[in-house]
């Protein structure tokens, strides 16, 4: 695949051909330039000689390519500008972003989960995920991962930062290194200032707040055994409880029972219960069943409606508790709702109504995702506050 990447180099090469449109080519046969021309690309930038620069130059005229530039990666690029790193390390995946000091995102990378680093095996997976994500982001940014150095780096980690700081400090070249929680970077990306409250409801749930003085507070986030009220897992758990009660004769009828049986291939609700205790049904898979409650509520299922309204109430209570710890009554506070649970219009509308009953609260969706929030925190750590320039990475072939 050819990909539009390394946009920051575009400025320099546009000085050579300011009216031209440039494509960046990696490791593909030069005949692909003919397809580029069909897409309106008339200049090609070749990296590390992988693309066959000499062959492309010889045939450029035949294909209508007006200019060929060649760039060789070197350590000089990674030291010629101040670079910043933001990482969202979650339970399902790791997202890595690299930006320059103007706020321009130069490269992005994805890797596996890196939420545990306690045992030796967990540390190995953690380091591998960070390394894989960093290499992918560096490749897109035209940087050498073996030599790249960052002015500032911020990692937001699911499961807490305590066991990860030392591991990262020993492997990453960064002048300033911050390791914090996934909730903190979610808030950092969600509002314009990184202040306010983030209500997060995905597989689990938590509310996290930060005021203008940098004070923070959290509510929830206790895990699925003792908490996670209003989360996707909690909604699915409440649906199963309703199905079990119906089946045992001490709960009202609900379509959720049949929906659960169909989704799991079970004979009865009790079998669903035992399935959910097996390794084949981890919390994330159970939580993914939460939208069935939304569908049932849309069809008029009263039990499903109660479950969703209860989820919204729980999440609004988390926000109210954070607010009471950090702000005076009536003070203006931005509240961002984040996570798949808020894809339910029933939950979202009820949550917004309840949260905005508090004078001063302003509810809205997040401005940026958690990876962008981590990158913004990396900037703020050294006194910068740029507006992010998020350039799409689009495959053209």
* Rg (the chain; Cα; Å): 25
Q: How far from 157 is each of 71, 89, 117, 283, 350, CA to CA, in Å?
A: 35, 5, 10, 18, 30
| Domain boundary, last residue among 41, 72, 103 | 72
Band of the pLDDT at 391, cuts 50, 70, 90?
A: low
Residues 101 and 235 in one domain: no
Q: How many CB atoms lie within 10 A of CB 387?
A: 10
Containing domain of residue 52, as a range? 7-72
Together in a domain, 25 and 159: no
**Angular region, 269: left φ>0, alpha ψ -120 to 50, beta rest:** alpha
Same domain, 228 and 348: yes
Name 109's bridge partners: 96
Alpha-carbon gap, residue 281 to 143, rounded angstroms:
40
Decide if pLDDT at 393 tops 70: no
Last residue of a domain, one of 53, 72, 91: 72
Looking at residue 142, which CATH number applies to its domain? 3.30.420.40
Strand ranges of the sheet holding 150-157, from the earlier edge strand across to the other edge: 105-111, 94-100, 83-89, 150-157, 174-181
pLDDT of 112: 80
Is residue 313 situated within a structural domain? yes
Is residue 56 in some structural domain? yes
Q: Are 352 and 222 in the same domain? A: yes
- pLDDT (0 to 100) of residue 89: 84
Q: Are 206 and 347 in the same domain?
A: yes
Output 265-271 pairs: Cβ under 8 A, ≥24 positions apart. Answer: 269/240, 269/243, 269/244, 270/244
222 and 142, same domain (yes or no): no
Answer whether residue 71 shows pLDDT above 50.
no
62 and 52 share one domain? yes
Predicted pLDDT at 122:
64
Give the total number of structural domains in the chain.
3
The pTM of this model reads 0.74
* Residue 387 lies inside a defined structural domain of this protein: no
Residue 185 lies in a domain: yes
One domain, residues 175 and 243: no
| Structure token digits, residue 95 | 């997202």
Residue 94 lies in a domain: yes
> Which residue among 16, 42, 72 closes a domain?
72
Average pLDDT, stretch 118-143? 81
Domain assignment present for 385: no
Q: Looking at the domain assignment, is residue 270 inside a domain?
A: yes
Cα separation of 368 and 384, whole Å?
Answer: 17
| 343, pLDDT greater than 80 | yes
Contact 177, 169 (CB under 8 A): yes
Residue 129, pLDDT score = 84
The pair of structure tokens assigned to 246 is 């119906």
Based on the fold, state whether residues 268 and 344 are members of the same structural domain: yes
Whether residue 393 lies inside any domain: the answer is no
pLDDT tier for residue 123 given thresholds of 50, 70 and 90: confident
Same domain assignment for residues 12 and 105 = no
- In this prediction, residues 28-50 reach a mean pLDDT of 42
Question: Based on the domain organization, do 184 and 197 belong to the same domain?
Answer: no
pLDDT of 264-294, one tens digit each?
999 999 999 999 999 999 988 999 999 999 9
The torsion region of residue 217 among left (phi > 0), alpha (psi -120 to 50) and beta comes to beta
Taking 50 as the threshold, does the pLDDT of residue 392 lie above it? yes
- Residue range 167-193, pLDDT digits in tens: 777 778 888 999 998 899 999 999 999
CA distances from 11 to 8, 147, 248 (A): 6, 24, 69
Lowest mean pLDDT among 5-14, 212-221, 223-232, 350-359: 5-14
Per the model's pLDDT, the better-predicted residue between 315 and 60 turns out to be 315
**Pick the residue with more confidence: 147 or 313?**
313
Query: 102 and 91, same structural domain?
Result: yes
């Amino acid at each position: 695949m050819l990909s539009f990447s390394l946009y920051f180099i575009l400025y320099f090469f546009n000085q050579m051909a300011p009216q031209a449109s440039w494509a960046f080519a990696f490791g593909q046969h030069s005949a692909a330039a003919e397809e580029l021309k069909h897409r309106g690309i008339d200049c090609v930038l070749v990296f590390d000689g992988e693309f066959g620069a000499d062959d492309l130059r010889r045939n450029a005229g035949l294909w209508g390519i007006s200019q060929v530039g060649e760039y060789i990666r070197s350590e000089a690029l990674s030291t010629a500008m101040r670079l910043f790193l933001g990482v969202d390390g979650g339970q399902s995946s790791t997202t890595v972003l690299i930006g320059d000091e103007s706020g321009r995102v130069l490269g992005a990378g994805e890797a596996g989960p890196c939420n545990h680093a306690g045992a030796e095996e967990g540390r190995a997976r953690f380091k591998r995920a960070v390394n894989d994500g960093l290499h992918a982001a560096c490749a897109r940014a035209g940087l050498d991962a073996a030599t790249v150095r960052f002015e500032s780096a911020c990692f937001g980690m699911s499961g807490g930062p305590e066991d990860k700081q030392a591991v990262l400090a020993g492997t990453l070249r960064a002048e300033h290194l911050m390791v914090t929680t996934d909730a903190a970077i979610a808030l950092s990306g969600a509002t314009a200032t990184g202040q306010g409250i983030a209500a997060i409801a995905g597989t689990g749930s938590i509310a996290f707040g930060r005021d203008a003085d940098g004070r923070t507070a959290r509510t929830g986030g206790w895990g699925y055994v003792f908490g996670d009220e209003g989360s996707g897992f909690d909604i699915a758990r409440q649906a199963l409880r309703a199905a079990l009660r119906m089946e045992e004769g001490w709960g009202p009828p609900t379509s959720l029972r049949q929906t659960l049986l169909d989704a799991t291939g079970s004979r009865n609700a009790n079998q669903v219960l035992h399935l959910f205790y097996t390794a084949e049904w981890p919390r994330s898979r159970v939580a993914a069943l939460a939208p069935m409650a939304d569908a049932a509520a849309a069809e008029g299922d009263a039990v499903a409606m109660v479950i969703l309204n209860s989820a919204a109430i729980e999440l609004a209570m988390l926000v109210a508790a954070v607010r009471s710890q950090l702000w005076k009554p009536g003070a203006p506070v931005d509240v961002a709702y984040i996570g798949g649970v808020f894809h339910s219009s029933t939950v979202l509308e009820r949550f917004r109504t309840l949260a905005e009953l508090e004078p001063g609260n302003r509810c809205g969706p997040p401005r940026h995702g958690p990876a962008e929030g981590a990158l913004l925190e990396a900037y703020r750590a050294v006194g910068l506050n740029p507006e992010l320039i998020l350039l799409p990475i689009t495959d053209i072939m």
